[in-house]
Chains A and B, each alone.
With several copies, the nearest count.
Chain A
Amino acid sequence: MLPDHNLIPHLIHQCTLIEINKVAENWYRLKLQAPAAAAYAEPGQFVHLRAGSASDPLLRRPFSIHNADSRANEIWLLIRVAGKVTSALAGLSPGGIINILGPLGTGFPVPDDEGSALLVAGGIGLAPLYFLTLRRQAAALPTELLLGGLTGNALPDDSFFFRDGVHPLIATNDGSRGYRGTAADLLEMRLQSGIRPTRIFACGPVSMLARVVELGRNCGLPVYVSLESFLACAVGACLGCAFPFKTDDHIEYRRVCRDGPVFSGEEACFELV
């Protein structure tokens, strides 16, 4: 982790795009040359990114760190095309320049024991959980990745995962790949089958997260969720990314960018967003 108040100017990088591949319908994987980010990145952290210099689009955009290789000085991003900046990114060629801030935010809790984990990814929520999977597997911690998508080609194919030694359990809404259902359905199935991990980690749409938290609560298992919000500063200064949490019956706003994006799911008020 980075010391908070140390002046580390290379945390603004002009990165070179090394490689870009389409890995699923509307999904692209980008490999960036980014030494400082690669050195410090922890699963669940993100970079705040800008391509170009025009004032429209004005703000940076946050993307989870999808993998980091500190020896090669590289980080990976996994991006789903959603609008202006993501389409511009999808159109970049190797050699293109991307400006990033980061790594930012509070990631997933570092495993303090030898516990096992279920990771529940809805769609592009895979991005940060993949990094967590790799880090946990490297530390030989028992880890099971559950992944849901709308349909088969909305998710990367098997080679994407197998190359890294990852073997996710997959479900699709239309049943065209893996089980028929959602990532939360997979979780329910695993819990019903008696699996009791030490922790659950989840990233995906709000409705999915709400259900995952409830399933965890029913089994008395702690759930960590990676939340989204529209960010401006991404460093905790503007209070724009507030997410509501309930403490002692009153609402309190926490900053997705700094207090999170990873939070204990227990108190998050999903019904208010």
Chain B
Amino acid sequence: MNLFDASLTVNLAGISLANPLIAASGCYGYGFDYRRWIDPGDWGAIVVKGTTLRPRTGNPPPRLVETPSGMLNAIGLQNPGIDFFLKSIRPQLPELQCPVLVNIAGETLEEYRQLAAILNSVTEVSGIEVNISCPNVKRGGVSFGGDPALVEELIGLVREVYRLPLIVKLSPDAGNIVSVAEAAWRAGADALSLINTIKGMVIDVQKRRPVLGNITGGLSGPAIRPVAVRAVWEVSAAVSIPVIGMGGIMQADDALEFILAGACAVAIGTANFINPAVAREISQGLRQYLCDHGFSHYRELIGAARP
């Protein structure tokens, strides 16, 4: 079989993607920063930085610290706000030549609803990813994501005003990730993204204080991959909407783990920092795997590790 016969296209909750690789929110800016290294069209889709109603300054530095096979970030949702996004970024989005999703975060249910209502009429945006799992903000974020009833209410409100594909992003910090996933599904989510970062911290033993300005941050990278694969495995068995898997994907085999566990698509965050051409390399690796093992579409692999 020829490498290019192996098809990677996918329809994700109504969005057609050229391949199942998605640039993870917060790790890819608005899609333009990496254009020296990779054509944005090499991605199936790009999820832009978490966006809020009003501009946010973000957390005080240091915002990053490396950990064994991972990193903590505490950006604190620094972003210029939805108005700036609409005015200055939206017009450039078609240049990216792949579907763009906006990751939204609010401090109240009403803020989420408003953001969704605004984006409902933005044709350049193919869908939203509702972030109920950011560990780095005082209000909102993961505090919403732990309570299934609250999640159901929140996503219900958003669903009422948002007609395009609606993805809900979850974190294992919630503890009961399956119940939360089911709640989002009941409330009308079209797909689920998991996982967001896991809350962690590092202490500087020389200075005897936490390294991060925000004290705690979110753990990403290969360190969390086993936890993320397990979350995808459990959630994809419990819901019948597509799951987007992420957490520490560095190479094709890692993406395959998520797909075999039940993910329909995968997102890549931290790996971009190490290898800006990672999306191109992973597509090639997936094609190679399909060829080597005699599959004609990666769809045949989704959940294939389940007995």
Contacts and interface: CB of A to CB of B under 8 A. Distances in A.
Q: Do A and B come from one complex?
A: yes
Contacts of B71: 58-59, 232
A12 B57 contact: no
A238 interface: yes
A232 B273 contact: yes
Interface stretch (B9-17, B27-35, B97-105, B177-185): B27-35
A233 B66 contact: no
A235 B39 contact: no
A244 interface: yes
A139 interface: no
Nearest to B68: A55
A56 B70 CA distance: 8
A12 B277 contact: yes
Given A5-B36, A58-B66, A58-B221, A238 B273 contact: yes
Contacts of A258: 33
A233 B35 contact: no
A230 to B, nearest CB: 5
Given A232-B71, A237-B28, A238-B26, A59 B274 contact: yes
A196 to B, nearest CB: 34
A253 interface: yes
Q: Is the interface of B mostly helix, strand, loop or mixed?
A: loop
B246 to A, nearest CB: 15
Given A5-B36, A59-B273, A230 B75 contact: no
B35 to A, nearest CB: 4
A233 B58 contact: no
B29 A7 contact: no
A252 B57 contact: yes
Q: Is the interface of A mostly helix, strand, loop or mixed?
A: loop
Contact of B272 (A2, A5, A231, A233): A233
B222 A5 contact: no
Contacts of A138: none
B200 interface: no
Contacts of B37: 7-9, 11-12, 101
A58 B274 contact: yes
A7 B61 contact: no
Interface string A230-273: 11111111111111100000111100001000000000000011
A4 interface: yes
21 contacts: A5-B36, A7-B35, A7-B39, A57-B66, A58-B70, A58-B222, A60-B274, A232-B71, A233-B272, A235-B34, A235-B36, A236-B33, A238-B75, A239-B63, A240-B63, A240-B75, A242-B58, A244-B61, A251-B57, A252-B57, A273-B62
Interface of B: 26-29, 32-39, 49, 57-58, 60-66, 68-71, 73, 75, 78, 221-223, 250, 270, 272-277
